[in-house]
Amino acid sequence: MDNLTHSLMGLAAAKAGLERLSPAATAVCIIAANAPDADIVAVIGGRWSYLHHHRGITHSIVGTLTLAFLIPSLFYLVDRIIARLRHKTPGIKFRGLLLASMIASATHPLMDWTNNYGVRPLLPWSGQWFYGDLVFILDPWLWLLLGGAAFLLTARTRWRTAAWALLALILTAAILFLPQSRGDVSYPLISRVLWITLLLGLALAHRAHVARRFGPAVALVAIILVVVYWSGLSLLHRRALSQTEAAAASLAAGKNETVVRTAAMPTLANPFRWQGMAETDRATYRFFLTLEESPTGVVRYEKPGGSQLQAIERASQDDVGARVFLEFARFPVFNFEGDCASQLLVQLADLRYTEPGPARGRGSFSLELPVACPEPEKKASE
């Protein structure tokens, strides 16, 4: 998930009661909820270094527990140093701060697991990816649930209210205008109307001083609603996966293929529209489906074989980016461009996020490699 969502979850958890465990607990909750993304430092080594390390050891069980211990320990140490310099009694309660940090840190890999990017919780012993496939990597409804609770509980001064209002305007502008500027982003009209309606509801709740009346219960209810939301998406996901399997079987039958695996993945802000993925013994498919309707936008990429597969294997052995990409890609597809007279290129892409094409502008989810043309077979001597 994005760091705004992680920050709002940390703040909501603090306001739900964790802030009572120790001074500085709110700050620790927000930092701990984002801490696993410290692996962003890997970007210094380039995009392939980042792709290789992102959602790696810092998102694993071992890494999350380590960060959850280090953060309150650092706060506790600094508090004791400052208290000694000022000849005062330390204020931080380490056990309370540690408990708050453990809970907030655990939310990060859990939330990251819910989308189709996945996590690797068993590192360093196993690099296996686990995917929840429930929530799109950016989810406005999580912003609204968690941010709404945080807004009601923290907007007690004019400048804080103004800051929340500015954030709401920025997010609303992105929701209203981003789909118009990018054809690959779909945001239903009903979702836009619902977003604005709920924002107005939050404004009215703020004027009615709901937070004063119910206190931490507001944040607790928001977190419970997030769990309910995930549960509803889980039911819809099962239905979408069943449709995906049926559609994959139909597509494979038309090509005399055998289905190997399938997946159903969420789309932006529309729990009734899913992206279906299917791999057969000879090809990889992607399509979109709305519950109770036939799949649309079907694309099919033939799997390379024979000399093409050998050429890809040779090229990937000598290219770090290709090795990292193939380790990461969940549904890798390939496309050959050019010819042996000029230059033969293979375009690789993870079909979850993009299609093969020039790697420029497609981020870390595709790349383009020059490959050697297969040598002509020598005729056996008579």
The CA distance from 286 to 331, in Å, is 9
Answer whether 166's CB lies under 8 Å from 153's CB: no
Best CA proximity match to 290, nearest among 304, 272, 263, 316: 272
CA distances from 139 to 74, 123, 328 (A): 32, 27, 23
Residue 220's contacts (CB-CB under 8 Å, 6 or more residues apart) are 16, 17
Answer whether 106's CB lies under 8 Å from 67's CB: no
Helix (H, G, I), strand (E, B) or coil at 31: helix
pTM here is 0.91
Length of the chain: 382
Phi then psi for residue 286, to 5 deg, are -135, 140
The CA distance from 80 to 218, in Å, is 34
Break the chain into its structural domains and give their ranges: 1-124, 234-301, 307-370
Give bridge partners of residue 266 from the DSSP assignment. Answer: 274
CA distances from 228 to 105, 140, 224 (A): 21, 16, 6
What is the per-residue pLDDT for 275?
95
Q: Angle, to 10 degrees, between the axis of helix 140-154 and the axis of helix 189-207?
A: 10
Residue 131's contacts (CB-CB under 8 Å, 6 or more residues apart) are 113, 115, 116, 117, 118, 263, 330
What is the per-residue pLDDT for 112?
97
Query: Which tokens in the block code for residue 32?
Result: 């701990």
Burial of 4 (0-12, 13-18, 19+ CB in 10 A): middle
Answer whether 218's CB lies under 8 Å from 149's CB: yes
Bridging pattern class, strands 273-280 and 283-290: antiparallel
Name the CA dihedral angle for 94, 97, 102, 108, rounded to a multiple of 10 degrees: -140
Give bridge partners of residue 285 from the DSSP assignment. Answer: 278, 300
Query: Which tokens in the block code for residue 246?
Result: 């049926």
* DSSP letter (8 states) at residue 82: H
Residue 176 burial (CB count, 10 A): 13
Per residue of the chain (382 residues), what is the pLDDT tens digit?
A: 999 999 999 999 999 999 999 999 999 999 999 999 999 999 898 888 999 999 999 999 999 999 999 999 999 999 999 999 988 888 999 999 999 999 999 999 999 999 999 999 999 999 999 999 999 998 999 999 999 999 999 999 999 999 999 999 999 988 877 655 444 556 777 888 899 999 999 999 999 999 999 999 999 999 999 999 999 999 999 999 999 999 999 999 999 999 999 999 999 888 899 999 999 999 999 999 987 778 889 999 999 887 788 878 887 887 888 899 999 999 999 988 876 666 778 889 999 999 887 655 556 788 888 877 755 555 444 4
Answer whether 100's CB lies under 8 Å from 12's CB: no
Answer whether 158's CB lies under 8 Å from 96's CB: no
The CA distance from 6 to 31, in Å, is 9
Burial of 318 (0-12, 13-18, 19+ CB in 10 A): exposed
Strand order across the 366-370 sheet: 332-338, 344-350, 366-370
